[in-house]
Amino acid sequence: MLQNVKVLSFTHFLQGPSAVQFLADMGADVIKIESPKGAYERHWSGINAFLNEESVFYLLAGRNQRSLSLDIRTDEGKEIIFKMIREADVIVENFRPGVMERLGFGYEDVLKINPSIIYASFSGFGSTGPYRDRPGQDLLLQAMSGLAQLNGGKDQPPTLVGSAIIDQHAAVLGALGIVGALYERTFTSKGKKVESNLLNAALDLQIEPFNYHLNGFNLYDRSESGISSRFHQAPYGIFETQNGYICLSLTPTDKLAKVFNDEKFLEWDRNDQFDKREEINARTAQHIKKHTTEYWYELFQINEIWCSLVNDYEQVESDPQLQWNKSIIDFNHPTAGKVRLLAHPVRYNGETLELRKLPPRLGEHTEEILKELGYDQETIEEYSKKGFIRECEKLQSKF
């Protein structure tokens, strides 16, 4: 889909790498430009997850890309980058605002030599404004954007989401903006600057409750009986069973009366499910505690009540729908060994996108890319000896 689109990726951490991986999955030639020491995500991983010294955090957003390792602060490094910019379609960067400008690769600098470039900048708060220079990080944005205040029980502190959902959503929004700008360019031949930031992504994740607030509607207090949002009617949340938990959502009171054999629920109408939501939720919880998860799951399914098991990751991994969707890919990496990662999440004509390139080793494609730019072997070896480019030894891939 994006074949013949060349992307220069000046990205690190998660927001930028995830965005360019979407483009790479769709066929773009994404070149990850890294210092000779390698990008941050090669050296860090959550829960210290390394496979034979390969960071899983790097592997999860590194597929279908090439790695060019060089020092972009040197004159020779800048010359190489400017050669690449002239033939690039997209630049993606998520340094702090101002860094690319100081390096000489800001939007205005690039525009002078490639007016058709799509230049995507990802940041924490935006490229301008009072928070321009603040560090942008998923956890901080969950707190700052109001997201943490939505979660948790009434007497609990604000509750953070246990995954970097803002980073990933910002990545998706950024990739969407790039694809839109590329489509427009086919008609205008003009480039465009695309910006995505964590703050806007965090607010977009709250599109429903925040827009209620903007239009003068007060959100409910956080629930004391387990309702998992500040704007839905009861029952809505996770309930304790005799042997575990089950999730229940948006169920009419007449159905509740039937499954619980409790006519009290018939006294409450649709409006009561909002106005008396704590009372209804608490009564629901009392009933659900009386039987096992398996009992309720079967009964709720029979009565077409929206419900779900509350799975841990082992149960998620073995779920038949997950397997049917081919949501996990397996491959052999020359140094990491066997790797299992989440696949590209979108299907096209019912098919998943193939894994064309393994997450590259640092500098794996340096020589290849420089030769494409016209550099001869002697010059490449000279640059390598001087240390401002990095090549990696050739390994036999098991892939």
For 42-96, write each residue's pLDDT tens digit. 999 999 999 999 999 999 999 999 999 999 999 999 999 999 999 999 999 999 9
Q: Distance between terminal CA atoms of the chain? A: 24
Give the pLDDT confidence score for residue 392 in this predicted structure: 80
pTM assigned to the model? 0.94
For 288-340, write each residue's pLDDT tens digit. 999 999 999 999 999 999 999 999 999 999 999 999 999 999 999 999 999 99
CATH superfamily of 6-205+324-390: Crotonobetainyl-coa:carnitine coa-transferase; domain 1 (3.40.50.10540)
Closest CA to 232 of 243, 246, 247, 244: 247
Q: Are 127 and 99 in contact (CB under 8 A)?
A: no
CA–CA distance from 43 to each of 39, 51, 291, 362 (Å)? 8, 12, 48, 11
Domain extents for the chain?
6-205+324-390, 236-309
For 266-292, write each residue's pLDDT tens digit. 999 999 999 999 999 999 999 999 999
What is d(CA 231, CA 115) in angstroms, rounded to the nearest whole number?
47
Q: What residue spans of 264-309 are helical by DSSP H?
A: 272-275, 277-288, 293-302
Q: Is the pLDDT of residue 397 over 90?
A: no
Q: What percent of the chain has pLDDT over 90?
A: 96
Q: Into which CATH architecture does domain 236-309 fall?
A: 2-Layer Sandwich (3.30)
Mean pLDDT of 224-252: 95
Q: What residue spans of the chain are helical by DSSP H?
A: 15-25, 56-59, 75-87, 99-103, 107-113, 138-144, 147-150, 165-188, 198-205, 207-214, 253-260, 272-275, 277-288, 293-302, 313-317, 320-324, 366-372, 377-386
